[in-house]
Amino acid sequence: MATPQQLWNIGAILGVSGIALGAYGAHKIKNSDKLKSWEVATYYQLIHSIALVCFSNLRNPVTNKSPTLAGSLIAMGTIIFSGSIYFLAWNNKSKLKARIGFITPLGGILMMAGWAVLLF
Question: Domain map of the chain by residue range?
Answer: 4-119
Taking only the tens place, the pLDDT of each residue in 11-35 is 999 999 999 999 999 999 999 999 9
Taking only the tens place, the pLDDT of each residue in 57-108 is 998 888 888 999 999 999 999 999 999 999 988 887 666 666 777 899 999 9
Q: Is the pLDDT of residue 117 over 90?
A: yes
The predicted structure's pLDDT at residue 68:
95
Q: What is the pTM of this model?
A: 0.91
Decide which of 1.10.357, 1.10.760, 1.20.1440, 1.20.120 is the CATH code for 4-119.
1.20.120
Using alpha carbons, select from 24, 104, 90, 12 the residue that is nearest to residue 54: 12
Report d(CA 105, CA 64) in Å as an integer. Answer: 32
Q: Are 74 and 44 a contacting pair, CB within 8 Å?
A: no
The predicted structure's pLDDT at residue 63:
86
